[in-house]
């Protein structure tokens, strides 16, 4: 790996790394519209992707450098503070946590420059890549170092994302700001955009959900206690696209919302409501892209790292009406009763020598040849912020997330296509499954009786194998979003689901609409078993080492993850 990593010489002034703020973009109002006064509960315009700044749309073409660094931004209006962001400078523009966009089959050639004073690495969540490009924590680079990425993107169109993945630091770095949306497009996606006259950032809108604790100075506060490390760190308010209490101005047409749960630990039960009435809307996609056909839904669970793609039809809403995006109340099922886990590994997870990764490579000195600016290595965070005094809503508490104001009537006669995509199912059943058990001993969360050890690969699979995994969450547990690196999977069946999950079932296998199609993350409730099928075929030669883990980031950082070796 020596060719992938180099050391940067630190610059002299830390202020350069903090230079520049994150702006936001919104469509200008019509000249015929009266000035809009939002209600007091949601006073801030939703940040939207635009030409640059936060979530600026960056179309991947030539080689680019993406820098992880501290920046200055006012999350709370009028209170600029330090947080972390990824930054790209290109063609005179500065993009922060850019919305990366590309076509299926294109190439990503990028340098990640770590301008923090701690290790980091970028994981391309949901993308099918070899292990050198996956962002495994083994390859995390120190402050001032670079990691080079070079990989094709064979994935079908979908909303993916990218975020840091250094061991023990992922939760902190994501919480403090690092992460962005990665959109892949193909012919099916472009046909949908044309059919519904969708424009990214205008009528096709990513909604990135972060729950955060913010003190009176407007600073992000991340200081989990031992109990919060065991349960997951929850915020006292939900930001949408880094906007507190946001509103969106809309017209009487169909809108597309690409929802990403980028929270560390909070699960949402999402619904659109007009007053007390829950509105039907159409689910058209999830983690791995478009479903075969739209599915009408009224509420959906979305756990950390999951994505849903929905259409909301506002044509029947009168101008002056308001729609609210809610997270409905649900039973969080934390610390349910049941027998404690046995303190022994299961037979399904026999440790073996780590074949895919050797010792860390040595580094060569000197800055990258194509880097224009000499940005310094900067501290990862500002001095410790004051604590938050407001109460933190528990997992499962009802919350209002965003208001949509219908401002004016427009003519919109487009119809949602009856057929969106073609998905070839993988023929399999739960009868011959590999068992993956999620449990704990004294609130140390484990997978198959193990916590993460860098040098071992407890799960080994032959390249090209098709396997069924039955992911079993023990009853004395809490909800776990289970994620696999490097591969997409299909959900076959849910068994022993709680009533709130059963209520969403659309077939006799207990699947919710959001379980259809291709997935990379699935929520598993206490006492529940979820069967998934994975085709481990890929074009990469040699042994490849990926990861499986819980995407509750505090669970992950405390070791609820394992290496997965594909022997090729």
Which of 136-150, 250-264, 424-438, 467-481 has the lowest average pLDDT?
Answer: 424-438
pLDDT of 362 reads: 26
The CA angle 98-293-102, to the nearest 5 degrees, is 25
Look-up: residue for tokens 């009176």? 216
Residue 559 DSSP symbol? T
pLDDT of 443 reads: 82
The larger pLDDT score, comparing residue 114 to residue 383, is at: 114
**pLDDT tens track for 454-500:** 999 999 999 999 999 999 999 999 999 999 999 999 999 999 999 99
Locate 32 and state its tokens.
């015929």
- Per the rule left: phi > 0, alpha: psi between -120 and 50, beta: everything else, 41 is alpha
Sheet strands side by side (includes 521-524)? 459-462, 561-567, 544-550, 480-484, 521-524
Look-up: residue for tokens 């809490």? 478
In angstroms, the Cα distances linking 280 to 311, 317, 410, 442 are 10, 13, 21, 42
Identify the helix (H) or strand (E) that includes residue 171: helix 170-175
Is the distance from CB of 547 to CB of 485 less than 8 angstroms? yes
**pLDDT tens track for 504-560:** 999 999 999 999 999 999 999 999 999 999 999 999 999 999 999 999 999 999 999
The sign of the torsion formed by the CA atoms of 330, 331, 333, 338 equals: negative
Which of 75-79, 390-394, 534-538 has the lowest average pLDDT?
Answer: 390-394
In angstroms, the Cα distances linking 95 to 7, 55, 79, 88, 92 are 24, 7, 21, 5, 10
In angstroms, the Cα distances linking 145 to 228, 336, 344, 358, 365 are 31, 44, 40, 19, 9
Is the distance from CB of 178 to CB of 142 less than 8 angstroms? no
pLDDT of 14 reads: 38
**pLDDT tens track for 312-328:** 999 999 999 999 999 99
Residue 371 has pLDDT above 60, yes or no: no
pLDDT of 345 reads: 35
Beta bridge partners of 69: 85
Q: What average pLDDT is seen over the chain?
A: 88
Gap between the Cα atoms of 248 and 26, Å rounded: 9
pLDDT of 33 reads: 63
Residue 220 DSSP symbol? B
Q: What are phi and psi of 554, to 5 degrees?
A: -70, -40
Q: How confident is the model at residue 391 (pLDDT cuts 50, 70, 90)?
A: confident
CA-based nearest residue to 163, from 146, 149, 179: 179
Locate 25 and state its tokens.
């973009």
Q: How confident is the model at residue 199 (pLDDT cuts 50, 70, 90)?
A: very high
Residue 118 DSSP symbol? S
Residue 185 has pLDDT above 60, yes or no: yes
The larger pLDDT score, comparing residue 210 to residue 1, is at: 210
Q: What is the mean pLDDT of residues 17-30?
A: 42
Beta bridge partners of 440: 445
Locate 415 and state its tokens.
């119809």
Q: What is the mean pLDDT of residues 138-142?
A: 97
Beta bridge partners of 471: 436, 530
Q: How confident is the model at residue 430 (pLDDT cuts 50, 70, 90)?
A: confident
**pLDDT tens track for 277-297:** 999 999 999 999 999 999 999
Spatial CB neighbours of 425, under 8 Å, sequence gap ≥ 6 = 490
In angstroms, the Cα distances linking 449 to 13, 343, 358, 403, 508 are 47, 7, 25, 44, 31
**Domains within the chain, CATH numbers bracketed:** 430-567 (2.60.40.420)
pLDDT of 412 reads: 97
Residue 330 has pLDDT above 80, yes or no: yes
Q: How confident is the model at residue 355 (pLDDT cuts 50, 70, 90)?
A: very low
Going by their DSSP bridges, the two strands 99-103 and 57-59 should be labelled as: parallel
**pLDDT tens track for 261-282:** 999 999 999 999 999 999 999 9
Which of 9-18, 120-129, 361-370 has the lowest average pLDDT?
Answer: 361-370
Q: What are phi and psi of 228, to 5 degrees?
A: -75, -30
Which of 52-56, 299-303, 460-464 has the lowest average pLDDT?
Answer: 52-56
Q: What is the mean pLDDT of residues 341-363?
A: 33
Gap between the Cα atoms of 529 and 475, Å rounded: 10
């Amino acid at each position: 790996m020596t060719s992938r990593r180099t050391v940067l010489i630190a610059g002299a002034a830390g202020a350069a790394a903090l230079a520049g703020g994150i702006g936001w973009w919104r469509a200008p109002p019509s000249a015929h519209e009266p000035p809009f006064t939002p209600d007091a509960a949601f006073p801030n315009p939703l940040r939207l992707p635009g030409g640059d700044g936060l979530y600026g749309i960056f179309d991947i073409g030539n080689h680019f450098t993406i820098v992880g660094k501290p920046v200055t931004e006012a999350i709370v209006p009028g209170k600029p503070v330090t947080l972390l962001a990824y930054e790209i400078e290109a063609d005179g523009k500065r993009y922060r946590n850019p919305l990366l966009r590309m076509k299926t089959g294109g190439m990503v050639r990028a340098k990640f420059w770590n301008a923090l004073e701690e290790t980091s690495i970028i994981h391309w969540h949901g993308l099918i890549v070899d292990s050198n490009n996956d962002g495994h924590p083994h390859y995390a680079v120190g402050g001032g170092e670079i990691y080079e990425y070079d990989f094709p993107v064979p994935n079908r169109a979908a909303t993916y994302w990218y975020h840091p993945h250094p061991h023990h630091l992922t939760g902190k770095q994501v919480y403090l700001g690092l992460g962005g949306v990665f959109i892949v497009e193909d012919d099916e996606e472009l046909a949908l955009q044309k059919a519904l006259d969708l424009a990214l950032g205008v009528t096709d809108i990513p909604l990135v959900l972060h729950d955060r604790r913010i003190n009176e100075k407007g600073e992000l506060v991340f200081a989990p206690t031992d109990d919060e490390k065991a349960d997951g760190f929850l915020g006292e308010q939900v930001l949408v696209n880094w906007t507190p209490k946001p509103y969106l101005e809309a017209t009487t047409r169909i809108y597309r919302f690409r929802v990403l749960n980028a929270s560390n630990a909070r699960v949402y039960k999402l619904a659109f409501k007009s007053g007390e009435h829950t509105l039907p809307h159409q689910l058209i996609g999830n983690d791995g892209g478009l479903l075969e056909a739209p599915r009408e839904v009224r509420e959906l669970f979305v756990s950390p790292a999951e994505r849903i793609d929905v259409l909301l039809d506002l044509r029947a809403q009168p101008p002056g009406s308001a729609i609210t995006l809610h997270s409905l109340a649900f039973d969080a099922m934390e610390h349910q009763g049941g027998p404690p886990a046995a303190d022994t590994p299961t037979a399904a997870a026999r440790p073996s020598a780590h074949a895919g990764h050797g010792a860390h490579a040595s580094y060569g000195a000197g800055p990258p040849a194509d880097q224009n600016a000499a940005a310094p290595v900067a501290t990862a965070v500002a001095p410790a912020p004051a604590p938050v005094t407001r109460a933190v809503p528990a997992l499962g508490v009802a919350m209002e997330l965003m208001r949509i104001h219908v401002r004016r009537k427009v003519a919109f006669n487009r119809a949602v296509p009856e057929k969106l995509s073609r998905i070839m199912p993988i023929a399999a059943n739960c009868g011959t499954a590999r068992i993956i058990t999620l449990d704990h001993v004294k609130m140390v969360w484990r997978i198959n009786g193990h916590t993460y050890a860098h040098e071992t690969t407890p799960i080994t699979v032959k390249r090209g194998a098709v396997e069924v995994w039955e992911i079993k969450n023990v009853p004395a547990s809490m909800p776990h979003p289970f994620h696999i690196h490097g591969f997409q999977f299909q959900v076959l069946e849910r068994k022993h689901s709680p009533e709130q999950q059963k209520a969403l079932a659309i077939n006799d296998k207990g699947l919710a609409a959001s379980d259809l199609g291709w997935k990379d993350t699935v929520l598993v409730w206490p006492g529940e078993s979820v069967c998934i099928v994975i085709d481990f075929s890929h074009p990469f030669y040699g042994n490849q080492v990926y990861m499986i883990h819980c995407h509750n980031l505090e669970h992950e950082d405390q070791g609820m993850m394992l290496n997965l070796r594909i022997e090729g």
